Amino acid sequence: LACALALAAVATGAVPKSGAGASPVDKDDFRVIIRLAIPHELEDHLQRLASAPGVAEARALPRLGMAVLSCLSEVAQEDLLDQLQEDDAIELAVPDSWVSLDDLSPGSSMSQSEGKSVGPTHARHGPQCSANPACAARGLLTGSCCPAQDGTMLSCCSLHDDLTIVAISTTHDTYVSARDGHIPMAKSRNLNSGTRFEVVNNYDGTISFKTSFGTYLSADDSGWLVADRTAIDNWEKFTVVYNDNATVSLKTFFETYVTAEPSGYVLANRVEPSLWEQFKIIKMQGPLQHLPDDPSLDKLWGMNSWGGNDIDAPEAWKVFTGEVGAGIVVGVIDTGIDYKHPDLSEQMWVNPNEIPGNGIDDDGNGYIDDVHGADFANNDGDPWDDQMHGTHCSGTIAGIGNNGVGVAGVAWRGVRLMALKFLTATGSGRTSDAIKAIDYAVAHGAKVLSNSWGGGGSSPALRVAIEHAEAANVLFVAAAGNEGTDNDEEPHYPSNYEVDNIISVASTTSRGELSSFSCYGNATVHVAAPGSQIYSTVPNNKYKYLSGTSMATPHVSGMAALVWMFRPQLSMQQLKQIVFDSVEPYNTLEGKVVSGGLINAKNALETAWAFTPPKPPTHAPKGIAFEDVDPAVGAYGGTVTITAASDESDVDYYRVYFVSGAGFQLEALGEEIPADGEAEYALEVNGSFSPPEYAKALVAVTGRKSGEMHATLKGPAPHVELVDYGVPDLGPQAVTWSGDANPEKGRIEGTLSVKRAKSEAAISHYNVYWRQASGERGALMGSIPAVGFHEPSCSGDSCALINETVEAVAEAEVHTYSRGAYGPDESATISLSGPAVAVVTRLDTEDYYDTLTIVGKALSGDMSDSVPVELQLNDSTANIEWASDSSIEKTGWVFTLRQTETTVKFRINATKPHGTGFEVVSAYGENEFPPGAKSSDLSEDYDGTSMPPSLAFTPAAIAFEDMDPGAGVVAGNVTVEPAVDVAQGKGFFFRINFADANATPLGDGWKVFANGSSVVQRSIPATKIPAGAVQLIARAGNSLGVGSGRAAAALADMAPHAPGNVTWGGDVDGGFRVVAGDLVVEPAESEVGIQAYVAYWYSGAEKGTEIVRD
């Protein structure tokens, strides 16, 4: 049976604030989608909204001018929605909804008949029963296909035009076979000419079986089945009776049943049907069909069944299978695809601009190694199906046909399946991720989008994304839903959106009836397709039956792809009309779907010939020019200039489209420009605009009433690249030269340390230049990419009450935030870029109600026993939120933040100096921000033959722990870590000294030789600390002296006070020579420098072995 989840949106109750130790709230549970009135201001507003109270994260959807805001709770989500409704800059603000699969979960109700094998059932329109004397004689005067009162099913009242060839399989795994002049037998285990029978539909609703020798199977009055009659009379007529196990029984004129005995004899003498009277009717290839050799074809009733109610796929395949077509990309927006499945692997779309497995985003679309599509639920380039639903749908669309494996899809060949995973292994996903999938598909060339999912209510953001797909001439096929309700009354989304590229699909059974679970709608559901008990591919080289409108939808998607490959010049709207016009009318679908019928692939191919494809102008514009003049990053402004076509005789208008980096049309920019004989045409952009995501160029096309040119990068239409004239507004904060590490005079080598700008929102990179003695800029040395860094910043009413201190630690900054005894109703949000580390060192708040929330984890209560708490902040934008209620107040909290990408290194390999220093300036594209440039002097050219070590050799670190208990005396091991990426020359050493607060060396110190890049140690004997000494320093030295660069470590004299009174509580163990009990130790007067108290055995004046330390 089927595998799926409910369609309704997930209901979310109020989520209380978490106390200490409670499970953190998932910020993805409460999301809001917004759209700005002025889309190009998205980045600015995103920074502000990311800092709003209750917002844990903000992510942009640039193509739509939208963003997704993740809130910390349902209350925060509701408050945010209220605030956004009052914000004039926000055009749209709606909750992000959950959607899920449109198939059936195990245990869902499905009528018994929906699982049965097929036979001649008769819901199709045809001559009415009242027009046929045989039907009228039985009192069947209405409808086109009529059930008899005895429970059997009559054949269609008219002779069927199609020639149907079948084989009759017995329960003994043999086939009924007729040989010329012989009695029919059931011994053959292979199909041959004798096992082929033509099905003849009789006027009275019975059927007859015609052999390949021109005779008919006949049941005589003695109970034998023979094959010697050349005409049809009562003895040659059989009534089909359906059984519950997907078999049929054949009832004779004499009210007996045909039986196949184990011996091979076929008789017609049984009064009641039992096991031997059960047969499977297998449809064989007829003269008007093309059947593939896939072994499971007989399970694909939706493609091909002997009794009808299928989509006539073999009849369509006789005309076209897709193998010689131009090819088409079908986007499967679902749970992903098993792209290694043997029935799908050759059909997978391959991103032509991505190199598989190199770990690089080669095409710059934001996804690494997105070879077959992308995973928008997990934000990566691997759309592997961890559920099975998407793989099942894919097999119906385009399972490889005629490959001797498994199943065949509606389109055997030519389709390229683009895997667009947004549903997780649970079968549910976010509307915002579905929007990303649609965006990606359109930008990368998908022409048909298959959508077997729904629920969650109407989302204006999703509707806008589908409208943009429509503008790109993309068809959107959507499941109608599985609630069994009327979509006219209870809308189901996305299938109910009134967008002209949507086809909404209901599900039918093998009997041609609407599936019991299927939604319907006389005005909102367009067509029906087979969806009950559909056999198709699932992950790990397997196959399975599933049911749902999810399974009906890929039949339509596959057929649409087949027709579009057959007539690639057709427009999307023409294709949609063909799907509607070619349905097979069914009285069971009247009033249930707009078209009143079941899709039919044969009819669709025939109908496609009747359509005249669009005829665009033959003359293209001669050129297009555009230069952005808006300095805001991400905003474009200016005039688009179109050079007219050389001949406008077939041109009515010009139009400009955005085109993706992959070369595919996106939406239009502005309106049509009438062609009126001018040499040039100007498209004035009213204000600024933000290009859709993935847009890389503008293309100018010509059009007329009969059609419009395609906007692509490779066609005759001219294009111009979109270059953002963005200018940064901040520069680097500092630049430091490490010193020359090259011992050769006249050559330098070393590292520039660049402290990033406070915010890199408008910075793409930093350019590094030589700087001349005159102060002028020299040659470009290279560049440093920006990473979206921004320092912590506080927003909210209570920021002024929070104390912040900043300390520089090892080329990074540690921000310490503290709030002491706090008041009621405080709120503040501190936002920053990750990666970073937050460490909570003190927290005392009202449990449950007053919370410090760090990237979704709410902390509250008295945490004195559990601090420090360290949390990793890995997101590009992370928020820390403080909120108190109006009741009890406590003593507050302290936490630190350390960002790991504050400073970046720029390596300068051995080179001849081309200036006296360096200059670093921020840039966006080709535009720089000179006022924010920072510089550093080269200082000296290190000559290893005549100079002590330069600053480049300064030790990276020094560490020391005093092991001498005497006051004013230290002893122990000093550890020195050499400079990174610097080759220590022969004879290099480190000089270790006591030093005062000004780092002035005191005394001769100690010397330890360097050992390449390895850490070295020097044992310090018991030594009296010189007056004024507060630290130990280490400097690099050689035979010519000691360098000026130093590493330092604070000097901590371990002079512990003795513990106070020590009391033994007495032995509480009853065993001989065994003691146990409490040793009570009063602490020392001062514990400075004390790490532990250690207890030893004691005998007289001698200290024995250690017992315990605490």
Of 232, 241, 242, 183, residue with least CA distance to 208: 232
Contact 1015, 969 (CB under 8 A): no
Per the CB < 8 A criterion, the answer to whether 45 and 632 are in contact is: no
Q: Determine phi and psi for 512, rounding to 5 degrees.
A: 80, 15
Contacts of 671-679 spanning 24+ positions with Cβ under 8 A? 672/703, 673/642, 675/644, 675/645, 675/648, 675/651, 675/702, 677/644, 677/648, 678/644, 679/643, 679/644
- Count of helices and strands (H, E) across the chain: 10, 67
Closest CA to 936 of 794, 1048, 787, 769: 769
Q: Which residues contact 447 (CB under 8 A, 6 or more apart)?
A: 328, 329, 330, 473, 474, 475, 561, 564, 572
Integer Cα distance of 137 and 816 in angstroms = 94
User: Residue 314: what are its φ and ψ, rounded to 5°?
Assistant: -60, -35
Task: Go through the chain and tell me how many residues it has.
Answer: 1110
> Which residue in the list 389, 526, 555, 719 is annotated as catalytic?
389
Strand duo 812-819 + 851-854: pairing: unpaired
- Count CB neighbours of 13 within 10 A: 6
**Strand-strand pairing, 502-508 and 527-530:** parallel
Contacts (Cβ under 8 Å, ≥6 apart) of 1027: none
CA distances 87 to 17, 36, 84, 301, 922, Å, are: 27, 10, 5, 55, 33
Q: Retrieve residue 961's tokens.
A: 């722990």
Q: Which of 310, 334, 363, 740 is catalytic?
A: 334
- The two three-digit tokens of residue 339, written as one number: 């792209």
Dist CA 882 CA 894 (whole Å): 12
- Cα separation values, 40 from 236, 472, 760, 768, Å: 77, 21, 17, 30
815 annotated active-site: no
Which H/E stretch holds residue 699?
strand 695-704
Q: Which residue has the tokens 């091909």?
A: 304
What's the token pair of residue 172?
A: 């003994």
Whole-number Å distance between alpha carbons of 699 and 682: 14
Query: Residue 526 catalytic?
Result: no
Tokens 């630190």: give the residue.
896
Residue 40 is among the residues annotated as catalytic for this protein: no
In angstroms and rounded to an integer, the radius of gyration of the C-alpha atoms of the chain is 40
- Between CA 523 and CA 534 the distance in angstroms is 26
Closest among 896, 882, 863, 1057 to 966, alpha carbons compared = 1057
Place of tokens 């208990």: 965
C-alpha span between 1049 and 98 (Å, rounded)? 55
- Alpha-carbon dihedral 1030, 1035, 1039, 1040, rounded to 10 degrees: -90
Strands 680-684 and 827-832: unpaired
Give the DSSP H or E segment for 316: helix 313-319
210 Cβ neighbours under 8 A, 6+ residues apart: 197, 198, 199, 200, 216
Catalytic residue among 18, 169, 532, 550: 550
> What tokens does 155 get?
């054949």
Catalytic positions, please? 334, 389, 550
